Amino acid sequence: MAYIISTGVKEAEYSYTQEEVSRLVPELFTMKQSEINRLMPIFENSQIERRQFAEKLNWFTLDHGLEERNRTYMEKAVAYAKEAVSSCLHHPSFTVRPNEVDHIFFVSSTGIATPTVDTFIINDLGFNDSIRRTPLFGLGCAGGTSGIARAYEWLKGNPDQTALVVCVELCSLTFQMKDSRVSNFVGSALFGDGASAVLLAGEHSSLLERTSAAVRLDQSSSKMKKESIDVMGWKVVDSGFEVIFNKSIPRLVKSFWGEHMRESLEQKQWEASDLSFIVAHPGGRKVLEAYDNTLGSDKPLLAYSEKVLRSHGNMSSPTVHFVLHEAMKQRQDKGTKSMMTSLGPGFSSEIISLEWA
């Protein structure tokens, strides 16, 4: 057993409405106007109102190589991650010193760094030099839930310890102006940038004495659909990362994810009707609709996910932490039940049980 006791989030600094971004489309894509007109409803029907980017809009109208993109990734990723971590450790009702954190799990899939970004956080914010580090790369949108699952599993074996999960993704920096595939068009309509941090404590950690509200974790589950590596991910090319999206994703939510969620509920001896809401990664409007249709509940289970999608778009791994952040701000009643879930490359699903304690 382990507990989530604090969250912190950081938006990228340049914020634009979806309408502002869509007006740039004719300048960005080398497609026939008829093809652009056919695809524009992807922007219009996304249910995204605003997104945040690491660079101003005119950056996307110019060519950028992998080296330049990655240099910007390193600069912004370190800055955003540090702000998310600082926000997480300075909770409104208590403060945790960096030297009280025993393990950092760092999650990112939109840039390359050796040493990884967590080393810069450790140096700059004053963490112990003996802190354990687990960088996780390539998990994509599943990374936010996967990172918490790995931290929870470590804390089960180290119940008096603490763990910090940090996610940072700069999806916008991967945009490829010369890529005329529909996947790139979809990505340009969905992706945003951001960072997040989640602090977890083992069941015997002294940090639990400082908080009157915590979220208990006591089950995590991973599932991968074999022979589905072409569903989502990145293709590395000379100019950077090209996004991979398959139109089968909403269908896989109903079949593959639906089965995984039923298995997870049965293991907990819960019913879907027991859930007050779902802390679900909002991959896009169609993904949220597929979640909703699969669960078939009368409750507005995805209200927090819908709010984050409207305000930030899909930021990949940090997005589910933004949803968790919204849920924890509301100070849920003791005993409130939920599931955290994300889908990612592989094709994979991660689910963790949550209960407000």
How many CB atoms are located within 10 Å of the residue 55 CB?
A: 20
Task: Look at residue 127 and tell me whether its pLDDT is greater than 90.
Answer: yes
191-223 pLDDT, tens digit each: 999 999 999 999 999 999 988 779 999 999 999
Task: Look at residue 52 and tell me whether its pLDDT is greater than 90.
Answer: yes
User: Which residue bears the tokens 């989530």?
Assistant: 4
Please, which pLDDT band fits residue 246 given cuts at 50, 70 and 90? confident
Sorted by sequence, the CB contacts under 8 Å of residue 48 that are 6+ apart come out as: 18, 189, 190, 309, 310, 313
User: Which residue bears the tokens 């949220």?
Assistant: 288
**Domains detected in the chain:** 2-210 (3.40.47.10), 217-356 (3.40.47.10)
Tokens in use for 341? 């879930």
Higher-confidence residue of 22 and 202: namely 202
Please, which pLDDT band fits residue 178 given cuts at 50, 70 and 90? confident
Parallel, antiparallel, or unpaired for β 103-108 and 132-137?
parallel
Structure confidence at residue 320 (pLDDT): 98
Mean pLDDT of the chain: 92
Task: Look at residue 83 and tell me whether its pLDDT is greater than 90.
Answer: yes
Structure confidence at residue 234 (pLDDT): 78
Compute the average pLDDT of residues 241-268.
88
Structure confidence at residue 145 (pLDDT): 98
Structure confidence at residue 155 (pLDDT): 98
Structure confidence at residue 177 (pLDDT): 78
Task: Look at residue 78 and tell me whether its pLDDT is greater than 80.
Answer: yes
Active centre residues (catalytic) = 141
- Say if residues 65 and 94 touch (Cβ distance below 8 Å): no
Task: Look at residue 44 and tell me whether its pLDDT is greater than 90.
Answer: no
Task: Look at residue 158 and tell me whether its pLDDT is greater than 90.
Answer: yes
Higher-confidence residue of 243 and 339: namely 339
Give SS3 for 105: strand
C-alpha closest to that of 39 among 221, 177, 158, 188: 188
Task: Look at residue 243 and tell me whether its pLDDT is greater than 90.
Answer: no
Which of 145-149, 186-190, 341-345, 351-355 comes out lowest in average pLDDT?
A: 186-190
Structure confidence at residue 251 (pLDDT): 85
Amino acid letter at 245?
F
98-114 pLDDT, tens digit each: 999 999 999 999 999 99
Task: Look at residue 188 and tell me whether its pLDDT is greater than 90.
Answer: no
Which DSSP category does 45 fall into?
T
CA-based max dimension of the chain: 62
Q: What stretches of 203-337 show up as alpha helix (H) in DSSP?
A: 249-252, 258-268, 285-295, 303-312, 319-329
